[in-house]
Amino acid sequence: DVKVTQSSRYLVKRTGEKVFLECVQDMDHENMFWYRQDPGLGLRLIYFSYDVKMKEKGDIPEGYSVSREKKERFSLILESASTNQTSMYLCASSSARRNEQFFGPGTRLTVL
Amino acid sequence: EDQVTQSPEALRLQEGESSSLNCSYTVSGLRGLFWYRQDPGKGPEFLFTLYSAGEEKEKERLKATLTKKESFLHITAPKPEDSATYLCAVKTSGSRLTFGEGTQLTVNP
């Protein structure tokens, strides 16, 4: 069965902290994605990666960075968390040959 | 710029009352249309992929159809457990998907 896991379901951090969100997929997918989801704004793409050590900016990359050192793992980093980064963060992966993206359970991040 | 619009924003049905959700799109070269189901507080769950006009896919009480400008998700005799937000997304080039904002479906017993 397809499996995408995220390191935390819920996370509470303070303004200015460095935050790491980790995502692991076990499907040998080439592509991995990070989204945030906010009421009224839908799913917005932050960054994606189509290969190890490769990354591309999505629609809202400001304030975020990513790391992909291994094919199965894609990390999202908030260098200095701010309250406007309070959101649901969703990781997804897809095969280079097929187009469906498979999502993890999400991390609800609250920045105080 | 690719655009995806879903309607209605919210839909309330009685159990057994069939209906359809709409996803209209404006894209330059559709390379796939996707339907997802999302339960509150969870990640979207993949349902269907449609590639060409006239194509249909079915799963239990759900049937997805595709025309050149829109897709419909038909729900036949829905049950309360079908309550969720249904998301539509399109792929035009590369690996990215463009998502609509979803239709929140509530099925009352």
* A77 Cβ contact partners less than 8 Å away, ≥ 6 residues apart: A18, A19, A20, A21, A64, A65, A66, A67
Number of domains in chain B: 1
Q: Is the pLDDT of residue B103 over 90?
A: yes
Judge whether B98 lies within some domain: no
Judge whether B8 lies within some domain: yes
Residues B52, B44: Cα–Cα separation, whole Å: 23
How far apart are the CA of A40 and the nearest CA of chain B, in angstroms?
A: 7
Give the residue-averaged pLDDT of A15-43: 95
Per-residue confidence (pLDDT) for residue B18, from 0 to 100: 98
Judge whether A76 lies within some domain: yes
Q: What pLDDT band is residue B95 in, cutting at 50, 70 and 90?
A: confident
> Would you call B32 and A101 a contact, using CB atoms and an 8 Å cutoff?
no
Residues B66, A23: Cα–Cα separation, whole Å: 33
Judge whether B109 lies within some domain: no
Tell how far CA B3 is from the center of its chain: 15
Which positions 24-83 of A are in contact with B (Cβ < 8 Å)? Answer: 31, 33, 40-43, 45, 48, 50, 58
- State pLDDT tens for residues A8-17: 999 999 999 9
Residues of A within 8 A of B97 (CB-CB) are: 99, 101
The boundaries of the domain holding residue A39 are 1-8+30-97
Judge whether B14 lies within some domain: yes
Q: Could you please report the per-residue DSSP string of A21-90?
A: EEEEESS--SEEEEEEEETTTEEEEEEEESSTT--EE-S--TTEEEEEEETTEEEEEESS--GGG-EEEE
- State pLDDT tens for residues B33-87: 999 999 999 999 999 999 999 999 999 999 999 999 999 999 999 999 999 999 9
Count CB pairs under 8 A between chains A and B: 50
Residues A7, A103: Cα–Cα separation, whole Å: 13
> Would you call A31 and B95 a contact, using CB atoms and an 8 Å cutoff?
yes
Judge whether A77 lies within some domain: yes
Q: What is the CATH number of the domain that holds B20?
A: 2.60.40.10
Beta bridge partners of residue B57, listed in sequence order: B64
User: What are the Cα distances from residue B75, in Å, to A73, A82, B55, B100?
Assistant: 37, 41, 17, 19
> Would you call B41 and A106 a contact, using CB atoms and an 8 Å cutoff?
yes
How far apart are the CA of B2 and the nearest CA of chain A, in angstroms?
A: 13
Q: What is the mean pLDDT of chain A?
A: 95
- State pLDDT tens for residues A55-104: 999 999 999 999 999 999 999 999 999 999 999 999 999 998 888 999 99
Judge whether A108 lies within some domain: no
Bond prior to A61 in cis (omega within 30° of 0): no
The boundaries of the domain holding residue B10 are 3-92
Per-residue confidence (pLDDT) for residue A98, from 0 to 100: 84
Residues of A within 8 A of B46 (CB-CB) are: 100-103
Beta bridge partners of residue A45, listed in sequence order: A35
Per-residue confidence (pLDDT) for residue A97, from 0 to 100: 85
Q: What is the CATH number of the domain that holds A1?
A: 2.60.40.10
Q: Which of A43, A50, A99 sits opposite B49 (nearest CB)?
A: A99
Judge whether A36 lies within some domain: yes
Number of domains in chain A: 1
Judge whether B44 lies within some domain: yes
Judge whether A38 lies within some domain: yes
